[in-house]
Protein backbone atom coordinates (compact mmCIF):
# COMPACT_ATOMS: atom_id res chain seq x y z
CA UNK A 1 0.00 0.00 0.00
CA UNK A 2 1.29 3.46 -0.84
CA UNK A 3 1.44 6.05 1.87
CA UNK A 4 -0.98 8.93 1.33
CA UNK A 5 -0.18 12.62 1.54
CA UNK A 6 -2.45 12.74 4.59
CA UNK A 7 -0.29 10.11 6.28
CA UNK A 8 2.85 12.04 5.36
CA UNK A 9 1.38 15.21 6.80
CA UNK A 10 0.53 13.32 9.95
CA UNK A 11 4.21 12.59 10.41
CA UNK A 12 5.02 16.27 10.89
CA UNK A 13 1.71 17.94 11.69
CA UNK A 14 -1.31 18.82 9.64
CA UNK A 15 -0.07 22.35 8.99
CA UNK A 16 3.02 21.19 7.13
CA UNK A 17 3.46 22.13 3.51
CA UNK A 18 5.51 20.05 1.09
CA UNK A 19 7.60 21.44 -1.71
CA UNK A 20 7.81 19.00 -4.58
CA UNK A 21 10.90 19.32 -6.72
CA UNK A 22 11.25 18.13 -10.28
CA UNK A 23 14.37 16.64 -11.80
CA UNK A 24 17.24 18.02 -9.77
CA UNK A 25 20.51 19.13 -11.26
CA UNK A 26 23.68 18.11 -9.49
CA UNK A 27 25.55 20.66 -7.42
CA UNK A 28 29.04 20.49 -6.02
CA UNK A 29 29.77 19.96 -2.34
CA UNK A 30 30.94 23.58 -2.11
CA UNK A 31 27.69 24.82 -3.61
CA UNK A 32 25.78 22.53 -1.25
CA UNK A 33 27.33 24.24 1.75
CA UNK A 34 26.36 27.64 0.42
CA UNK A 35 22.76 26.51 -0.06
CA UNK A 36 22.44 25.47 3.58
CA UNK A 37 20.84 28.63 4.92
CA UNK A 38 18.32 28.98 7.76
CA UNK A 39 16.09 25.95 8.13
CA UNK A 40 12.56 26.61 6.77
CA UNK A 41 9.63 26.42 9.16
CA UNK A 42 8.12 23.49 7.30
CA UNK A 43 9.79 20.44 5.74
CA UNK A 44 10.30 20.15 2.01
CA UNK A 45 9.67 17.06 -0.08
CA UNK A 46 12.31 16.36 -2.70
CA UNK A 47 11.90 13.94 -5.59
CA UNK A 48 14.92 12.37 -7.24
CA UNK A 49 14.16 10.39 -10.40
CA UNK A 50 16.36 7.52 -11.54
CA UNK A 51 18.25 8.30 -14.72
CA UNK A 52 21.82 8.41 -15.97
CA UNK A 53 22.35 11.83 -14.38
CA UNK A 54 21.13 10.99 -10.87
CA UNK A 55 22.59 7.52 -10.21
CA UNK A 56 26.05 6.25 -9.42
CA UNK A 57 26.77 2.63 -10.23
CA UNK A 58 28.68 0.26 -7.99
CA UNK A 59 30.27 2.53 -5.41
CA UNK A 60 29.91 4.98 -2.54
CA UNK A 61 32.03 8.11 -2.66
CA UNK A 62 32.73 11.05 -0.38
CA UNK A 63 33.35 13.15 -3.51
CA UNK A 64 30.01 12.69 -5.27
CA UNK A 65 27.98 15.74 -6.19
CA UNK A 66 24.66 15.66 -4.31
CA UNK A 67 21.37 15.27 -6.13
CA UNK A 68 19.44 17.03 -3.35
CA UNK A 69 20.46 19.35 -0.53
CA UNK A 70 18.01 18.87 2.34
CA UNK A 71 17.40 19.92 5.92
CA UNK A 72 16.74 17.69 8.88
CA UNK A 73 13.09 16.67 8.78
CA UNK A 74 12.77 16.90 5.00
CA UNK A 75 11.24 14.13 2.91
CA UNK A 76 12.93 12.56 -0.10
CA UNK A 77 11.31 10.30 -2.68
CA UNK A 78 13.93 8.21 -4.48
CA UNK A 79 13.39 6.19 -7.62
CA UNK A 80 15.73 3.21 -7.57
CA UNK A 81 16.64 0.71 -10.27
CA UNK A 82 17.88 -2.85 -10.08
CA UNK A 83 21.25 -3.53 -11.68
CA UNK A 84 19.77 -6.80 -12.99
CA UNK A 85 17.22 -5.12 -15.29
CA UNK A 86 19.07 -6.18 -18.45
CA UNK A 87 18.49 -9.84 -17.57
CA UNK A 88 15.15 -9.19 -19.28
CA UNK A 89 15.24 -5.76 -20.88
CA UNK A 90 11.88 -6.28 -22.59
CA UNK A 91 10.17 -6.41 -19.21
CA UNK A 92 12.41 -4.20 -17.05
CA UNK A 93 13.97 -1.54 -19.32
CA UNK A 94 12.08 -1.00 -22.56
CA UNK A 95 9.59 1.87 -22.55
CA UNK A 96 10.99 3.31 -19.30
CA UNK A 97 12.94 6.48 -20.20
CA UNK A 98 14.85 6.57 -16.91
CA UNK A 99 15.90 2.92 -17.09
CA UNK A 100 16.69 3.23 -20.78
CA UNK A 101 19.07 6.12 -20.08
CA UNK A 102 20.88 4.15 -17.37
CA UNK A 103 21.10 0.82 -19.22
CA UNK A 104 21.85 2.26 -22.68
CA UNK A 105 24.87 0.51 -24.13
CA UNK A 106 25.87 0.48 -27.77
CA UNK A 107 29.14 0.12 -29.64
CA UNK A 108 30.12 3.71 -28.89
CA UNK A 109 29.10 4.37 -25.29
CA UNK A 110 27.20 3.41 -22.15
CA UNK A 111 24.53 5.46 -20.42
CA UNK A 112 26.49 5.10 -17.20
CA UNK A 113 30.12 4.29 -17.94
CA UNK A 114 31.67 3.70 -14.51
CA UNK A 115 30.28 0.54 -12.93
CA UNK A 116 32.26 -0.16 -9.81
CA UNK A 117 35.11 1.27 -7.76
CA UNK A 118 37.88 -0.09 -9.98
CA UNK A 119 39.97 1.67 -12.62
CA UNK A 120 38.25 3.44 -15.49
CA UNK A 121 40.57 1.86 -18.06
CA UNK A 122 39.67 -1.72 -17.06
CA UNK A 123 43.35 -2.51 -16.67
CA UNK A 124 42.86 -5.29 -14.12
CA UNK A 125 40.41 -7.70 -15.74
CA UNK A 126 39.34 -5.89 -18.91
CA UNK A 127 35.64 -6.07 -18.06
CA UNK A 128 34.77 -2.39 -18.37
CA UNK A 129 35.05 0.94 -16.59
CA UNK A 130 35.00 0.37 -12.83
CA UNK A 131 35.69 -3.34 -13.47
CA UNK A 132 32.45 -4.34 -11.74
CA UNK A 133 34.16 -3.96 -8.36
CA UNK A 134 30.77 -2.93 -7.00
CA UNK A 135 27.51 -3.58 -8.81
CA UNK A 136 24.53 -1.69 -7.37
CA UNK A 137 22.73 1.19 -9.07
CA UNK A 138 22.40 3.83 -6.33
CA UNK A 139 20.30 6.98 -6.50
CA UNK A 140 21.70 10.11 -4.87
CA UNK A 141 23.52 11.12 -2.85
CA UNK A 142 21.47 13.35 -0.57
CA UNK A 143 23.40 16.05 1.28
CA UNK A 144 21.96 16.78 4.73
CA UNK A 145 22.64 20.32 5.90
CA UNK A 146 24.56 20.44 9.15
CA UNK A 147 25.63 16.78 9.13
CA UNK A 148 29.20 16.31 10.33
CA UNK A 149 31.35 13.33 11.33
CA UNK A 150 30.23 12.06 14.73
CA UNK A 151 26.59 12.89 14.14
CA UNK A 152 23.91 10.27 13.45
CA UNK A 153 21.49 10.30 10.53
CA UNK A 154 18.04 8.82 11.14
CA UNK A 155 16.33 7.59 7.98
CA UNK A 156 12.64 6.70 8.24
CA UNK A 157 11.29 4.55 5.41
CA UNK A 158 7.72 5.77 5.01
CA UNK A 159 6.76 3.97 1.82
CA UNK A 160 8.02 1.61 -0.87
CA UNK A 161 6.28 0.50 -4.03
CA UNK A 162 7.18 -1.22 -7.32
CA UNK A 163 8.22 0.66 -10.43
CA UNK A 164 5.80 -0.34 -13.22
CA UNK A 165 7.11 -1.94 -16.38
CA UNK A 166 7.35 0.70 -19.08
CA UNK A 167 6.44 -1.82 -21.77
CA UNK A 168 2.72 -1.51 -22.70
CA UNK A 169 2.63 -5.30 -23.11
CA UNK A 170 3.03 -5.64 -19.34
CA UNK A 171 0.74 -2.94 -18.01
CA UNK A 172 0.08 -3.27 -14.28
CA UNK A 173 3.09 -5.54 -13.77
CA UNK A 174 6.57 -5.24 -12.40
CA UNK A 175 9.34 -7.78 -12.88
CA UNK A 176 12.42 -8.83 -11.02
CA UNK A 177 15.39 -11.12 -11.48
CA UNK A 178 17.02 -13.65 -9.17
CA UNK A 179 20.53 -14.73 -10.10
CA UNK A 180 21.83 -17.96 -8.59
CA UNK A 181 25.38 -16.96 -9.40
CA UNK A 182 29.03 -17.82 -8.93
CA UNK A 183 29.28 -15.75 -5.74
CA UNK A 184 26.38 -17.63 -4.14
CA UNK A 185 26.93 -19.85 -1.11
CA UNK A 186 25.45 -22.80 -3.04
CA UNK A 187 27.73 -22.62 -6.07
CA UNK A 188 30.19 -25.37 -5.14
CA UNK A 189 27.49 -27.59 -3.63
CA UNK A 190 25.41 -28.36 -6.75
CA UNK A 191 24.26 -31.97 -7.20
CA UNK A 192 22.65 -31.86 -10.64
CA UNK A 193 24.46 -31.44 -13.95
CA UNK A 194 25.75 -29.33 -15.49
CA UNK A 195 28.10 -28.18 -12.76
CA UNK A 196 28.81 -25.38 -12.19
CA UNK A 197 26.05 -23.21 -13.62
CA UNK A 198 24.44 -19.83 -13.13
CA UNK A 199 20.67 -19.55 -13.39
CA UNK A 200 18.49 -16.47 -13.85
CA UNK A 201 14.86 -16.66 -12.70
CA UNK A 202 12.47 -13.90 -13.77
CA UNK A 203 9.61 -13.11 -11.38
CA UNK A 204 6.38 -11.19 -11.85
CA UNK A 205 5.21 -8.73 -9.20
CA UNK A 206 1.84 -7.02 -9.11
CA UNK A 207 2.21 -3.25 -8.85
CA UNK A 208 -1.48 -2.45 -8.36
CA UNK A 209 -1.56 -3.63 -4.75
CA UNK A 210 -3.91 -6.54 -5.50
CA UNK A 211 -1.40 -9.30 -4.70
CA UNK A 212 1.21 -9.49 -1.96
CA UNK A 213 3.26 -12.24 -3.57
CA UNK A 214 5.57 -12.84 -6.52
CA UNK A 215 5.46 -15.72 -8.98
CA UNK A 216 8.13 -17.16 -11.23
CA UNK A 217 7.69 -16.59 -14.96
CA UNK A 218 10.64 -18.53 -16.39
CA UNK A 219 14.31 -19.26 -15.85
CA UNK A 220 17.39 -19.72 -18.01
CA UNK A 221 21.01 -20.70 -17.62
CA UNK A 222 23.58 -18.03 -18.22
CA UNK A 223 25.58 -18.63 -21.38
CA UNK A 224 28.49 -16.46 -22.52
CA UNK A 225 27.27 -12.99 -23.47
CA UNK A 226 29.16 -10.56 -25.68
CA UNK A 227 28.60 -6.97 -24.62
CA UNK A 228 28.32 -4.12 -27.16
CA UNK A 229 32.01 -3.29 -26.67
CA UNK A 230 32.92 -6.84 -27.75
CA UNK A 231 33.92 -8.20 -24.33
CA UNK A 232 32.77 -11.79 -23.71
CA UNK A 233 31.29 -12.47 -20.27
CA UNK A 234 31.43 -16.20 -19.61
CA UNK A 235 29.96 -15.65 -16.15
CA UNK A 236 28.01 -12.82 -14.54
CA UNK A 237 31.08 -10.69 -13.91
CA UNK A 238 30.02 -7.14 -14.89
CA UNK A 239 26.75 -5.41 -14.05
CA UNK A 240 24.22 -4.48 -16.70
CA UNK A 241 25.45 -6.69 -19.51
CA UNK A 242 22.54 -6.94 -22.00
CA UNK A 243 21.39 -10.55 -22.26
CA UNK A 244 20.73 -11.58 -25.85
CA UNK A 245 17.60 -13.69 -25.48
CA UNK A 246 18.26 -15.43 -28.82
CA UNK A 247 21.18 -17.18 -27.08
CA UNK A 248 19.30 -18.58 -24.08
CA UNK A 249 16.77 -21.35 -23.50
CA UNK A 250 13.79 -20.29 -21.42
CA UNK A 251 12.10 -22.78 -19.10
CA UNK A 252 8.53 -21.66 -18.41
CA UNK A 253 7.15 -24.64 -16.51
CA UNK A 254 8.80 -23.82 -13.18
CA UNK A 255 7.80 -23.33 -9.52
CA UNK A 256 4.13 -24.06 -10.14
CA UNK A 257 1.83 -23.22 -7.23
CA UNK A 258 4.53 -21.31 -5.40
CA UNK A 259 3.90 -17.80 -4.10
CA UNK A 260 6.77 -15.81 -2.61
CA UNK A 261 5.66 -13.21 -0.03
CA UNK A 262 6.51 -9.64 -0.99
CA UNK A 263 8.91 -7.83 1.34
CA UNK A 264 9.97 -4.66 -0.46
CA UNK A 265 13.21 -3.26 0.91
CA UNK A 266 16.44 -1.51 0.05
CA UNK A 267 19.25 -4.03 -0.19
CA UNK A 268 21.72 -1.15 -0.18
CA UNK A 269 21.34 2.15 1.64
CA UNK A 270 23.88 4.15 3.55
CA UNK A 271 26.09 7.19 3.91
CA UNK A 272 29.48 7.80 2.34
CA UNK A 273 32.46 6.28 4.16
CA UNK A 274 35.49 8.46 4.78
CA UNK A 275 38.34 6.01 4.17
CA UNK A 276 38.60 6.12 0.35
CA UNK A 277 37.47 8.13 -2.65
CA UNK A 278 35.64 5.17 -4.19
CA UNK A 279 34.29 2.32 -2.07
CA UNK A 280 32.94 -0.89 -3.64
CA UNK A 281 29.18 -1.09 -3.06
CA UNK A 282 29.20 -4.82 -2.32
CA UNK A 283 30.71 -5.23 1.18
CA UNK A 284 28.60 -3.52 3.88
CA UNK A 285 30.15 -1.77 6.84
CA UNK A 286 29.77 0.80 9.59
CA UNK A 287 28.33 3.23 7.03
CA UNK A 288 25.50 0.83 6.11
CA UNK A 289 25.62 -0.02 2.44
CA UNK A 290 24.78 -3.47 1.12
CA UNK A 291 23.38 -4.90 4.35
CA UNK A 292 20.74 -6.98 2.52
CA UNK A 293 18.35 -7.24 5.45
CA UNK A 294 14.76 -7.63 4.24
CA UNK A 295 13.57 -5.74 7.35
CA UNK A 296 14.93 -2.45 5.94
CA UNK A 297 11.62 -1.62 4.30
CA UNK A 298 8.46 0.37 4.85
CA UNK A 299 7.97 1.19 8.52
CA UNK A 300 11.63 0.68 9.37
CA UNK A 301 14.03 3.34 10.60
CA UNK A 302 17.77 3.14 10.03
CA UNK A 303 20.38 5.01 12.07
CA UNK A 304 23.75 5.64 10.42
CA UNK A 305 26.88 7.20 11.91
CA UNK A 306 27.89 10.16 9.75
CA UNK A 307 31.44 9.90 8.40
CA UNK A 308 31.69 12.86 5.99
CA UNK A 309 30.24 16.34 5.83
CA UNK A 310 26.62 16.25 4.63
CA UNK A 311 26.37 12.50 5.21
CA UNK A 312 25.80 11.83 1.49
CA UNK A 313 22.98 9.29 1.76
CA UNK A 314 22.34 7.00 -1.21
CA UNK A 315 19.94 4.10 -1.74
CA UNK A 316 19.38 1.38 -4.31
CA UNK A 317 19.70 -2.35 -4.86
CA UNK A 318 15.90 -2.61 -4.40
CA UNK A 319 14.44 -6.03 -3.59
CA UNK A 320 10.88 -7.33 -3.59
CA UNK A 321 11.67 -10.48 -1.64
CA UNK A 322 14.65 -12.05 0.08
CA UNK A 323 15.28 -14.65 2.74
CA UNK A 324 17.83 -14.38 5.51
CA UNK A 325 21.24 -15.35 4.08
CA UNK A 326 20.46 -14.38 0.43
CA UNK A 327 21.98 -17.78 -0.16
CA UNK A 328 22.15 -18.00 -3.96
CA UNK A 329 23.68 -14.55 -4.39
CA UNK A 330 20.73 -12.25 -4.98
CA UNK A 331 17.17 -11.56 -3.88
CA UNK A 332 14.28 -10.86 -6.26
CA UNK A 333 16.04 -7.82 -7.64
CA UNK A 334 13.51 -5.32 -8.92
CA UNK A 335 13.02 -1.56 -9.27
CA UNK A 336 11.23 0.33 -6.51
CA UNK A 337 10.41 3.86 -5.41
CA UNK A 338 10.78 4.80 -1.76
CA UNK A 339 9.86 7.83 0.35
CA UNK A 340 12.20 8.64 3.21
CA UNK A 341 12.35 11.21 5.97
CA UNK A 342 15.85 12.21 7.07
CA UNK A 343 16.46 13.51 10.59
CA UNK A 344 19.84 14.70 11.79
CA UNK A 345 20.98 14.05 15.37
CA UNK A 346 23.96 16.14 16.41
CA UNK A 347 26.71 14.50 18.44
CA UNK A 348 26.26 16.92 21.34
CA UNK A 349 22.65 15.77 21.73
CA UNK A 350 23.22 11.99 21.68
CA UNK A 351 23.90 11.46 25.38
CA UNK A 352 21.26 9.33 27.08
CA UNK A 353 19.60 8.39 23.78
CA UNK A 354 19.39 5.06 21.94
CA UNK A 355 22.05 6.25 19.53
CA UNK A 356 24.66 7.39 22.03
CA UNK A 357 28.05 6.13 20.88
CA UNK A 358 26.55 4.59 17.72
CA UNK A 359 29.24 3.47 15.29
CA UNK A 360 27.28 0.89 13.32
CA UNK A 361 24.01 0.74 11.34
CA UNK A 362 21.04 0.21 13.67
CA UNK A 363 17.52 -0.71 12.58
CA UNK A 364 14.36 0.12 14.51
CA UNK A 365 10.90 -1.25 13.65
CA UNK A 366 7.61 -0.96 15.49
CA UNK A 367 8.42 -4.09 17.47
CA UNK A 368 12.19 -4.68 17.31
CA UNK A 369 15.69 -3.33 17.62
CA UNK A 370 18.12 -4.90 15.13
CA UNK A 371 21.91 -4.61 15.29
CA UNK A 372 24.05 -5.55 12.31
CA UNK A 373 27.27 -7.43 12.80
CA UNK A 374 29.85 -8.04 10.07
CA UNK A 375 32.98 -10.12 9.70
CA UNK A 376 34.77 -6.80 10.09
CA UNK A 377 32.94 -3.93 11.74
CA UNK A 378 35.03 -1.53 9.65
CA UNK A 379 36.86 -3.58 7.05
CA UNK A 380 38.18 -0.45 5.31
CA UNK A 381 40.17 0.43 8.44
CA UNK A 382 40.98 -3.07 9.66
CA UNK A 383 42.42 -4.39 6.41
CA UNK A 384 44.34 -1.32 5.31
CA UNK A 385 45.16 -0.24 1.77
CA UNK A 386 44.11 -3.56 0.19
CA UNK A 387 40.86 -3.78 2.15
CA UNK A 388 38.55 -3.66 -0.85
CA UNK A 389 40.12 -6.76 -2.38
CA UNK A 390 41.12 -8.70 0.74
CA UNK A 391 37.69 -8.57 2.37
CA UNK A 392 36.34 -11.16 -0.06
CA UNK A 393 38.72 -13.86 1.17
CA UNK A 394 38.66 -13.01 4.88
CA UNK A 395 34.97 -13.11 5.84
CA UNK A 396 33.52 -15.62 8.26
CA UNK A 397 30.25 -16.21 10.05
CA UNK A 398 32.19 -16.65 13.32
CA UNK A 399 33.55 -13.12 13.08
CA UNK A 400 30.17 -11.69 12.05
CA UNK A 401 28.49 -13.41 14.99
CA UNK A 402 31.12 -12.08 17.37
CA UNK A 403 30.60 -8.55 16.03
CA UNK A 404 26.81 -8.85 16.35
CA UNK A 405 27.23 -10.03 19.94
CA UNK A 406 29.47 -7.09 20.76
CA UNK A 407 27.05 -4.62 19.24
CA UNK A 408 24.06 -6.11 21.04
CA UNK A 409 26.02 -6.01 24.29
CA UNK A 410 26.85 -2.35 23.67
CA UNK A 411 23.21 -1.60 22.89
CA UNK A 412 21.91 -3.25 26.05
CA UNK A 413 24.56 -1.84 28.35
CA UNK A 414 24.55 1.69 26.92
CA UNK A 415 20.93 2.19 25.95
CA UNK A 416 19.20 0.01 28.52
CA UNK A 417 21.65 0.47 31.36
CA UNK A 418 22.31 -3.21 31.99
CA UNK A 419 25.47 -4.65 33.47
CA UNK A 420 27.50 -6.93 31.23
CA UNK A 421 26.25 -10.00 33.12
CA UNK A 422 22.65 -8.87 32.71
CA UNK A 423 23.14 -8.14 29.01
CA UNK A 424 24.67 -11.54 28.28
CA UNK A 425 21.94 -13.38 30.13
CA UNK A 426 19.24 -11.40 28.34
CA UNK A 427 20.81 -12.05 24.94
CA UNK A 428 20.89 -15.77 25.51
CA UNK A 429 17.30 -15.84 26.73
CA UNK A 430 15.60 -13.34 24.41
CA UNK A 431 17.70 -12.20 21.44
CA UNK A 432 17.41 -13.83 18.02
CA UNK A 433 20.58 -13.89 15.96
CA UNK A 434 20.30 -14.73 12.29
CA UNK A 435 22.46 -14.83 9.18
CA UNK A 436 21.77 -11.66 7.20
CA UNK A 437 23.84 -12.60 4.16
CA UNK A 438 26.79 -14.78 3.17
CA UNK A 439 27.38 -13.34 -0.30
CA UNK A 440 28.48 -9.71 0.08
CA UNK A 441 32.16 -10.00 0.90
CA UNK A 442 31.75 -8.76 4.45
CA UNK A 443 29.34 -11.40 5.74
CA UNK A 444 26.57 -10.37 8.10
CA UNK A 445 24.77 -11.56 11.22
CA UNK A 446 21.89 -9.56 12.68
CA UNK A 447 20.74 -9.57 16.29
CA UNK A 448 17.07 -8.90 17.07
CA UNK A 449 15.72 -7.77 20.42
CA UNK A 450 11.96 -7.42 20.80
CA UNK A 451 10.81 -4.13 22.27
CA UNK A 452 8.21 -5.92 24.39
CA UNK A 453 11.09 -7.19 26.53
CA UNK A 454 11.33 -3.66 27.91
CA UNK A 455 7.59 -3.08 28.30
CA UNK A 456 7.68 -2.30 32.02
CA UNK A 457 8.29 -3.49 35.56
CA UNK A 458 7.77 -7.15 36.40
CA UNK A 459 6.16 -7.82 39.80
**Domains (range + CATH), the chain:** 5-162+263-347 (2.60.120.580), 168-260 (no CATH), 373-454 (3.10.28.20)
pLDDT given at position 35: 77
Q: Which of 47, 43, 39 is nearest to 18 (CA)?
A: 43
pLDDT given at position 4: 39
Q: Which residues contact 419 (CB under 8 A, 6 or more apart)?
A: 413
Paired sense of beta strands 59-60 and 279-280, if any: antiparallel
pLDDT given at position 37: 85
pLDDT given at position 209: 83
**For the chain, give me the number of helices (H) and strands (E)?**
8, 24
User: pLDDT means per 10 residues in the chain (459 residues)?
Assistant: 39 35 42 71 97 98 97 98 98 98 98 98 97 98 98 98 97 96 98 98 93 97 98 98 98 97 98 98 98 98 98 98 98 98 97 93 98 98 96 97 98 94 98 98 98 75
Paired sense of beta strands 336-345 and 152-162, if any: antiparallel
Length, in residues, of the chain:
459
Q: Which of 159, 144, 161 is nearest to 340 (CA)?
A: 159
pLDDT given at position 177: 98
Beta bridge partners of 341: 75, 156
Amino acid sequence: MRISLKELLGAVGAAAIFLFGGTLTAVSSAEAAVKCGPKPAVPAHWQIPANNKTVHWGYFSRDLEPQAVVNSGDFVTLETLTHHANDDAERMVNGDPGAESVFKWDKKSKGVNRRGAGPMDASIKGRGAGEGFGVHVLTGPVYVCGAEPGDVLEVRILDMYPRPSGNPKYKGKTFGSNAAAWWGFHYKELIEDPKPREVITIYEIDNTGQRDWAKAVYNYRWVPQTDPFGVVHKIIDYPGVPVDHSTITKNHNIMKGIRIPIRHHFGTMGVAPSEADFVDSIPPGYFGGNIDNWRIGKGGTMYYPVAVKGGLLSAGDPHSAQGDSELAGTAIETSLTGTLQVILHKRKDLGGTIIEGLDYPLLETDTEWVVHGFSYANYLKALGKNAQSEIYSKSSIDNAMRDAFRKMRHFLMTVKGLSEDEAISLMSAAADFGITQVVDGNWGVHGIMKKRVFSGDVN
